[in-house]
């Protein structure tokens, strides 16, 4: 029986934050050594940060990454540890993992499969390492192996699958299995998306079973670079059995999970398989060997537990609350802002944003304690004087209700009620005189009166735009971050006023659809996230029909009246944009999915969606950065590219109208 303790770390890194990233790595190394870990896996590109973008091509960034690596290697005495970094070899940049043992750098495994879809652009900066190829690179005056290599440390063989390597059909782990590797390390930067947790775990479990190994999966956590959210989810599996998993959505800078495995047992079980035929003619340089004495390890009883919410019926609601809350907290501290400002209309979108800010502080206090929050937000003036979560919310969240003559008492009261329930600092501003002033200026320039019959959109937009300078001013004066409140459904059809409700430095809910957002708010009113509980005051929001409240009250304006039912709009968007269906195909799908809407009205709504979508790409290009939450994002900078100028689907829409018996 040969026991070794393996561990995976989750780190909250920041691109190009050399000192902060190093501190987090050292924290993980020290924790590993203190607990008797023999092999530690750190996340992908943990030295430089994963989200360095085009700075990966900077010679100084590459040089600094190696400098930091040289500073970290001496801290590996007594253990084996991996470090992710970009490395220059033969004029090309590779996404690599360095392995060090006992203060000695052994070499570099290079990533073979680059992530180049969705929010990932790795092929822009890195080259894929060719399968089965090895080279030598000079680092710190020494020639070290690089490429498709594995390592033998004191008789335990260690190989790598680096993030995307595990998500492809021809996984490197299959070859490592034939090389009789005992432990596969997977340093990852695997972003959060709804439902991704289960896929990730299947990859780890199946890798450990099929390859006959102990599989150690490390990941980033938090809002690393602005848009992507990392949920952590470090995993350890052996022989198809999950041994350890980290808590997801941790607010800690560094944390670790570990498990003790019997290498001899894993080997023997793999050897029992009649299908296992090991490679017996290893090529020179394929395995890098070094003598190493692992710390003594004891047999441990594995008891894998997860919080109840991870397997509860409201998993998506919990994930949304925790992912966006963590992202907001990290964005606040990494941008060194003094707080948040939200233009709180009393409707669903702005109320959701305000609640997410309050929950970010609630989750942080729950996990870190108030002292931990004070330490992490030490740049915020007066934060150490906040002695409870309501105090933190009042210091860090300012909400503003901005009324025009078309604003009603229901939304005014709803905004005040929600702000008071959260503990926010709330102000009410009357901007109607400003609207009138702009209207008179335009009428003087045009030489005519503006009327709702003739100038409907313009008169709506000026109200939304007039609200922008006030909240920007509040944010600027206080050094706070203005949060925009537009959602993905509105972004799809341009149902938003540029420089109005889209104003802000960050758009936290632009990646989520309106139908789901309303469902989430009802859950938040009744139940809420585990540990924080519900916000009953949201009843004043949830009982309303969503409305922009920009037309005179007598017109009874609603969002769905202007557009279409949100549940249908979101279904059309998924079919048309996510699945790239033609208008005619969308019509056929919607007829089957929504038989109650069969007829000319359904055709009208589909025509409206396609025309509005193609007409409003310029708006989506100007949205503030948003968080990535699922594979239905419309963010043109990270996910969904569409031309600003296009033919607008006119040929396709004419075909749809003809087949459906409705003129264009």
For residue 192, give the CATH number of its domain.
3.60.110.10
Q: Give the rounded distance of the alpha carbon of 344 from its chain centre.
A: 25
pLDDT band, very low/low/confident/very high, at 662 (cuts 50, 70, 90): low
Please give the average per-residue pLDDT across 107-121, as a whole number: 95
Using a 10 angstrom Cβ sphere, with 0-12 exposed, 13-18 middle and 19 or more buried, the burial of residue 546 is buried
- Is 548 domain-assigned? no
534 and 619 part of one domain: no
Beta strand 287-290 pairing with 150-153: parallel
Domain that holds residue 388: 311-543
Residue 455, CB-side half-sphere exposure with 13 Å CA sphere: 13
Q: Residue 335: inside a domain, yes or no?
A: yes
With a cut of 60, say whether residue 162 has pLDDT above it. Answer: yes
Across the range 26-30, mean pLDDT stands at 98
- Average pLDDT of the chain, as a whole number: 95
Same domain? 109 vs 219: yes
589 shares a domain with 446: no
Overall residue count recorded for the chain in this entry:
664
**Same domain, residue pair 275 and 353:** no
Task: Using the predicted structure, report yes or no on whether residue 196 has a pLDDT greater than 80.
Answer: yes
Phi, psi of 8, rounded to the nearest 5 degrees: -125, 135
Which of 543, 577, 593 is the C-terminal boundary of a domain? 543
> According to the model, what pLDDT value does residue 280 have?
67
The reply to whether 553 falls in a domain is no
281 falls within a domain = yes
Mean pLDDT of 3-17: 98
> Residue 360: is its pLDDT beyond 70?
yes
**494 three-state secondary structure:** coil
DSSP annotation string for 182-216: SEEEEE---B--TTHHHHHHHHHHHHHHHTTSEEE
Q: How far apart are the first and last CA of the chain?
A: 76
Given the DSSP bridges, would you call strands 3-11 and 214-223 parallel, antiparallel or unpaired? parallel
Q: What band does 274 get if pLDDT is binned at 50, 70 and 90?
A: low
- Max Cα-Cα span within the chain: 92
Coil/strand/helix, residue 301:
coil
Per-residue pLDDT reduced to its tens digit, 376-401: 999 999 999 999 999 999 999 999 99
CA–CA distance, 220 with 163 (Å, rounded to integer): 11
The stretch 25-53 carries a mean pLDDT of 98
3-state secondary structure of 543: coil
Number of folded domains that form the chain: 3
For residue 304, the SS3 value is coil
Q: Say whether both 139 and 166 belong to one domain.
A: yes
Cα separation, 396 vs 379, in Å, equals 12
β-pair type (425-430, 397-403): parallel
Are both 373 and 282 inside the same structural domain?
no
Do 124 and 220 have their domain in common?
yes
* Residue range 492-516, pLDDT digits in tens: 999 999 999 999 999 999 999 999 9
Question: What average pLDDT does range 81-92 have in this prediction?
Answer: 97
pLDDT for residue 663 is more than 70 = no
- Percent of the chain scoring above 70 in pLDDT: 99
- For residues 271-291, give the mean pLDDT: 78
Would you say residue 272 has pLDDT above 80?
Answer: no
Q: Are residues 263 and 331 in the same domain?
A: no
Q: What pLDDT sits at residue 664?
A: 44
Indicate whether 273 pLDDT > 80: no
Determine, yes or no, domain membership for 556: no
Q: Structure pTM? A: 0.95
| Cα distance between residue 616 and residue 648, in whole Å | 10
Q: Which SS3 state, helix, strand or coil, does residue 281 take?
A: coil
191 has pLDDT over 60: yes
470 and 583 both lie in a single domain: no
pLDDT value of position 551:
86
Q: Give the integer Cα–Cα distance in Å for 126 and 347.
A: 45
Residue after which a domain boundary falls, among 282, 306, 330 = 306
> Same structural domain for residues 464 and 536?
yes
Query: Does residue 375 form part of some domain?
Result: yes
Task: Indicate the pLDDT class of residue 279, thresholds 50, 70 and 90.
Answer: confident
| pLDDT digits 0-9 by tens, 406-416 | 899 999 999 99
Q: Which CATH number characterizes residue 619's domain?
A: 3.40.50.620
How far is residue 260's CA from residue 239's CA, in Å, rounded to a whole number?
A: 13
Classify residue 647 by burial, with Cβ atoms within 10 Å: 0-12, 13-18, 19+.
Answer: exposed
Q: Specify whether 348 is located in the same domain as 476.
A: yes
Instruction: Examine residue 482 and state whether it is found in any structural domain, yes or no.
Output: yes
Contact 136, 143 (CB under 8 A): yes
Q: Give 509: exposed, middle or buried? Use CB within 10 Å, 0-12, 13-18, 19+.
A: buried
Of 647 and 267, more confident: 647
CA atoms in the 13 A half-sphere facing the CB of 497: 18
Task: Determine, yes or no, domain membership for 239.
Answer: yes
Helix (H, G, I), strand (E, B) or coil at 483: strand
Using the 3D structure, point to which of 511, 543, 575 is the last residue of a domain. 543
Rounded to whole angstroms, what are the CA distances from 531 to 51, 85, 307, 364, 366? Answer: 32, 37, 10, 11, 8
Spatial CA neighbour of 239 closest among 204, 275, 198: 204
My answer on whether 481 and 630 are in the same domain is no
pLDDT of residue 569: 96
Q: What percent of the chain has pLDDT over 90?
A: 90
Q: Looking at the predicted structure, is the pLDDT value of residue 427 above 50?
A: yes
């Amino acid at each position: 029986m040969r026991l070794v303790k393996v561990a995976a770390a989750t780190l909250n890194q920041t691109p190009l934050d050399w000192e902060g990233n190093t501190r987090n790595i050292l924290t993980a190394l020290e924790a590993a050594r203190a607990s008797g870990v023999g092999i530690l896996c750190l996340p992908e590109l943990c030295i430089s940060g994963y989200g360095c973008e085009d700075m990966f091509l900077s010679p100084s960034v590459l040089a600094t990454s190696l400098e930091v690596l040289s500073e970290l290697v001496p801290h590996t005495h007594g253990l084996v540890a991996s470090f992710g970094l970009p490395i220059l070899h033969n004029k090309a940049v590779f996404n690599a993992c360095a392995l060090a043992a006992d203060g000695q750098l052994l070499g570099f495994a290079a990533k073979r499969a680059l992530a180049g879809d969705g929010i990932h652009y790795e092929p822009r900066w890195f080259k894929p390492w060719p399968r089965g190829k090895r080279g030598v690179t000079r680092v710190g005056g020494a020639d070290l192996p690089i490429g498709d290599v594995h390592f033998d440390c004191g008789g335990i063989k260690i190989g790598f699958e680096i993030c995307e390597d595990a998500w492809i059909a021809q996984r490197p782990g299959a070859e490592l299995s034939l090389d009789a590797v005992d432990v596969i390390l997977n340093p990852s930067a695997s972003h959060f998306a709804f439902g991704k947790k289960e896929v990730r775990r299947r990859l780890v479990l199946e890798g450990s079973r099929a390859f006959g190994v102990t599989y150690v999966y490390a990941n980033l956590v938090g809002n690393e670079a602005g848009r992507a959210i990392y949920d952590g989810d470090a995993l350890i599996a052996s022989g198809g059995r999950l041994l350890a998993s980290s808590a997801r959505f941790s607010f800690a800078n560094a944390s670790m999970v570990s498990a003790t495995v019997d290498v001899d047992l894993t080997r023997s079980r793999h050897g029992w398989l009649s299908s296992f035929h090991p490679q017996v003619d290893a090529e020179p340089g394929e395995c890098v060997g070094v003598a190493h004495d692992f710390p003594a390890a004891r047999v441990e009883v594995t008891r894998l537990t997860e919080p109840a919410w991870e397997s509860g019926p409201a998993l998506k609601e919990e994930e949304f609350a925790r992912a966006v809350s963590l992202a907001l907290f990290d964005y606040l501290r990494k941008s060194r802002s003094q707080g948040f400002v939200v233009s709180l209309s009393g409707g669903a979108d702005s109320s959701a944003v305000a609640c997410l800010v309050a929950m970010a502080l609630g989750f942080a206090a729950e996990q870190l304690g108030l002292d931990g929050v004070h330490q992490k937000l030490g740049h915020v003036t007066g934060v150490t004087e906040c002695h409870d979560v309501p105090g933190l919310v009042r210091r860090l969240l300012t909400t503003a209700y901005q009324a025009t003559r078309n604003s009603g008492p229901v939304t005014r009261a709803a905004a005040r009620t929600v702000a008071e329930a959260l503990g926010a600092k709330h102000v009410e501003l009357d901007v109607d005189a400003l609207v009138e002033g702009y209207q008179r200026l335009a009428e003087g320039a045009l030489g005519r009166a503006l009327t709702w019959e003739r100038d409907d959109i313009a008169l709506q937009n000026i109200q939304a735009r007039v609200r922008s300078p006030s909240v920007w001013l509040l944010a600027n004066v206080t050094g706070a971050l203005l949060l925009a409140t537009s959602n993905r459904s509105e972004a799809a059809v341009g149902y938003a006023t540029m420089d109005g409700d889209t104003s802000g430095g960050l758009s936290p809910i632009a990646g989520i659809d309106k139908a789901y957002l309303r469902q989430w708010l009802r859950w938040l009113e009744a139940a809420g996230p585990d540990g924080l509980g519900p916000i009953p005051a949201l009843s004043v929001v949830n009982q309303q029909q969503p409305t922009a409240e920009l037309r005179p009250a007598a017109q009874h304006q609603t969002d769905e009246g202007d557009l279409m039912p949100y549940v249908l709009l979101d279904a059309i968007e998924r079919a048309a944009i996510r699945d790239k269906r033609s208008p005619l195909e969308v019509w056929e799908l919607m007829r089957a999915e929504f038989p109650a809407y069969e007829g000319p009205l359904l055709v009208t709504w589909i025509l409206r969606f396609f025309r509005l979508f193609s007409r409003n790409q310029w708006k989506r290009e100007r949205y503030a950065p948003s968080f990535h939450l699922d594979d239905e994002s419309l963010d043109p900078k990270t996910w969904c590219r569409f031309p600003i100028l296009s033919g607008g689907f006119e040929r396709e829409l004419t075909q749809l109208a003809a087949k459906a018996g409705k003129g264009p």
